[in-house]
Amino acid sequence: MELKEIAENIEYNTGLDVKPSHIKTSENWVFLYRKDLFDSYGDKEVECFLAPMGPPDRSPYEAYTSLPYDQSPFSPDKEVRSKSIEKINQEYVSYLKSEGELDEVEKFLTGKRPFGYGLLAVSGDCGGGMSPEHDLIVLSGDNFDAVEDYLRYKLEWSFLLTKSETKTDWEKQAKFYQKKSNQKIRERMATLNIFKHKYHFRTTWELVSLTDNKPNRDCGFDLTIIKQEQGKFEN
């Protein structure tokens, strides 16, 4: 959005007299210098609005905070301008974290919302078998096809395990487990670092929807949260 359009929008929605020269922008912020705005000491201030501004799904036309003019992006000092944006970014992220708004933190830092799904350990080694806590792998959305293949494979495997009475049943199970394509499915979960260690293969997983890195339903147990993009597979 051009500065002229931003100025017109702010002017229309707030009734203020705003010119393009009154505005500076960064990736996350719109900074407005109003000649009528001073702090309690009579020093000039700059209002800080979250960007982008506009329709209902955008940030409202209400300033998040204000900065001293000489410590804002309007400063003639390049280093001061850079540090002012860095400071307000850090303050806003800290505020979101204190409110538990982890999805908003990711949106603010990356420009996109989290994938919104995770793998919840419901039983087995990492599902209460080795400790009271259950692992929750927060998925990033990358290589999700590997997760889909693995969950389908485990579901089919569970069907085979319902029949374990005859030699034919056991042979079917062995053939299915040793099938090269199924071995590849298991290997991908390790090589793509979705699973972090061998105990994850000894665990039963459920795909769950997440908000702020937590399941949308009460699980009834404590969680160890693991992000897909963090750490590598270790035997």
pLDDT given for residue 233 in this prediction: 94
Band the pLDDT of 10: cuts 50, 70, 90: confident
The answer to whether residues 201 and 217 belong to one domain is yes
Band the pLDDT of 55: cuts 50, 70, 90: low
Band the pLDDT of 39: cuts 50, 70, 90: low
Cβ neighbours around 55 below 10 Å, total: 6
The answer to whether residues 125 and 83 belong to one domain is no
**Section 43-58 average pLDDT:** 75
Structure tokens at 58: 């955008």
The answer to whether residues 98 and 127 belong to one domain is no
Quote the Cα angle for 105-46-88, to 5°: 25
In the chain, the percentage of residues whose pLDDT exceeds 90 is 62
* 232 located within any domain: no
* 144 located within any domain: yes
The answer to whether residues 85 and 54 belong to one domain is yes
The pTM of this model reads 0.68
Residue 178 has pLDDT above 90, yes or no: no
Residue 42 has pLDDT above 80, yes or no: no
Domain encompassing residue 168: 117-227
Q: Structural domain tally of the chain?
A: 2
The answer to whether residues 17 and 98 belong to one domain is yes
Please count the helices (runs of H) and the strands (runs of E) in the chain.
6, 9
The answer to whether residues 71 and 142 belong to one domain is no
Band the pLDDT of 37: cuts 50, 70, 90: low
The last residue of one of the domains, among 110, 135, 159, is 110
DSSP state of 31: E
pLDDT given for residue 139 in this prediction: 97
The last residue of one of the domains, among 44, 75, 110, is 110
Of 63, 70, 75, residue with least CA distance to 29: 63
pLDDT given for residue 34 in this prediction: 75
The answer to whether residues 94 and 133 belong to one domain is no
The answer to whether residues 72 and 123 belong to one domain is no
The answer to whether residues 137 and 190 belong to one domain is yes
How far apart CA 220 and CA 216 sit, in angstroms, is 12
The answer to whether residues 103 and 130 belong to one domain is no
Structure tokens at 52: 């982008």
Phi, psi of 10, rounded to the nearest 5 degrees: -65, -45
The answer to whether residues 123 and 159 belong to one domain is yes
In the predicted model, what is the mean pLDDT of the chain? 90
* 233 located within any domain: no
Which of 1-10, 19-28, 37-46, 70-79 has the weakest average pLDDT? 37-46
Of 215, 217, 32, 51, residue with least CA distance to 135: 215
Structure tokens at 163: 């029949």
pLDDT given for residue 80 in this prediction: 94
* 234 located within any domain: no
Task: Calculate the CA dihedral of residues 201, 206, 212, 213 and round it to 10 degrees.
Answer: -10
pLDDT given for residue 198 in this prediction: 96
